[in-house]
Amino acid sequence: MSLNSERLYPWCEKNWENLWQQQQAGRLPHALLLVGQAGLGKQAFAEHLTQRLLCQGEANDTGACGQCRQCKLYLAGNHPDHLAIAPEEPGKAIPVDTIRSIAKFSAQTAQQQGNKVISIANAENMNIAASNALLKTLEEPTPNTFLLLVTDRPAQLLPTLHSRCQRIVFHVPPEAHVQDWLRAQVDLNEDELAAALALAGGAPRLAKAYAEEGVLSAYQDFLTQWQHLSSGQASPYHLAAQWSKQAQCLQWMQRIIATLLKRIACQQDLASYGIVTQPLSVQTHQALYHYLDKLNVLTQKQARHHLNLTLLLESLLVTWCQEVLAK
């Protein structure tokens, strides 16, 4: 077992097996695009793979040996044949000059006489010039050089980048498959566990972070307030004023409605939500879908134009009472 095997999460094992088989057969592509929603361990997977590609110890199907000189250099963060690129600050663009450094790195001979690995975290943050510069490197790959791009938002990458990389998709694992892992990470009861996963869209690592950072508690208060609105115990105008102080409120509303619709489709229990208080008719289903559409549109507008959040929430909550609960 490798020293860094803990970074390969259980729900990532199938992707790892597929790449391991390709590597053993000498068919591992020179460029990989790791995609999937946040919180699924894509960056950790890229690090695990990077160390495996740099390792010159005995090969094994779990990862790098952790003992050879190359592994020790990598774990110390100063392996000369690894180039790690990421935005300097969250959300900040990766500039073209940074990407141009890849061409120079690729042209160099590996100092450790093995592979060279270039990893780009948050690859969607490359600007157009940077993306075009990367294309030139992809079009003329050098031997024993591997490029790993990691992104939560693949749609923001140029189609030409997609076409030159093998796409590795990280799917949200079934809830039952990650509950034991999450229980071992954080002290949650069953209701809290389900709430954390729902809030994180099923992404285990994000659910863990929410529980540890106190976000889960704030979310549960938010959900309780929405339940009070649905039962007539709270005013939409009062809640709008409260929720406007919570930066994540629109995202939470999207997550709640999407999870509610998923549970309805799977005929699962809705009791833990309680925001729809009447029997679920066909009209109610349709109203929920229309509501989610409106919520998505307004969320995008608010992000682009910085609309008055209190007024936007008032509109959404009044609509909830008049057009969803009335169905």
How many Cβ atoms from other residues are within 10 Å of residue 94's Cβ? 22
* Residue 64 domain flag: yes
The predicted structure's pLDDT at residue 1: 31
Per residue in 194-210, pLDDT (tens digit) is: 888 888 888 999 999 98
* Residue 156 domain flag: yes
The predicted structure's pLDDT at residue 91: 75
Same-domain pairing of 16 and 117: yes
Q: Domain range for residue 153? A: 5-169
Same-domain pairing of 156 and 218: no
The predicted structure's pLDDT at residue 279: 60
The predicted structure's pLDDT at residue 293: 94
Answer yes or no: are the C-beta atoms of 225 and 239 closer than 8 Å: yes
Q: Which helix (H) or strand (E) holds 145?
A: strand 145-151
The predicted structure's pLDDT at residue 2: 36
The predicted structure's pLDDT at residue 192: 83
Same-domain pairing of 143 and 277: no
Answer yes or no: are the C-beta atoms of 115 and 51 closer than 8 Å: no
What are the C-alpha distances in Å from 22 to residues 115, 133, 166, 200, 293? 16, 28, 12, 32, 41
Residue stretches of the chain with pLDDT short of 50: 1-6
Same-domain pairing of 93 and 26: yes
CATH code of the domain in which 73 resides: 3.40.50.300
* Residue 185 domain flag: no
User: Which of 116, 135, 169 is the C-terminal boundary of a domain?
Assistant: 169
pTM recorded for the entire structure: 0.78
Angle at 206 between CA 245 and CA 255, to 5 degrees: 55
How many structural domains does the chain have?
2
Same-domain pairing of 111 and 257: no
